[in-house]
Amino acid sequence: MTDSLDERIAAVAFNADGLAPAIVQQWDTHEVLMLGWMDAEALRRTLTTGRVTYWSRSRQEYWRKGDTSGHIQLVKSAHLDCDGDALLIEVDQVGPACHTGLRSCFDTADLDAVDGVAGEERP
């Protein structure tokens, strides 16, 4: 990519709180691991250090995944969606991604959705 780092970050349509959702996916299996939030500085750190950094909405501080748990996320690639308001961060996850100790934050509650079939619509 030939755009400067500042231009790439400026392309993100951050919300009114200055944040964008970051979907985190295992790079080789495409397993969705978690969702976090990034502001411009967290994204800058992620793009330049090789480790994922988030903005913690509850603690109001930056946190680099794995600094306390050892369950680090090594950046493989980062993408901006077509609307510019969501990020996809592909990582090599070391250990569980979820603070509960599970591999994925989405391994907990199945909402029992109806399985859709192409060409069929259900009421």
Is 83 labeled as ligand-binding?
yes
Is 112 labeled as ligand-binding?
no
Is 92 labeled as ligand-binding?
no
Is 81 labeled as ligand-binding?
yes
Identify residue 47 by its one-letter amino acid code: L
Per-residue HEC secondary structure of 68-102 comes to CCCCCEEEEEEEECCCCCCEEEEEEECCCCCCCCC
Is 85 labeled as ligand-binding?
yes
Q: Report the relative pairing of strands 87-93 and 20-26 from DSSP bridges.
A: parallel
Is 39 labeled as ligand-binding?
no
Residue ranges of the annotated binding site are 81-83, 85, 98, 105
Residue ranges of the annotated binding site for Mg(2+) are 81, 83, 85
Residue ranges of the annotated binding site for Zn(2+) are 82, 98, 105
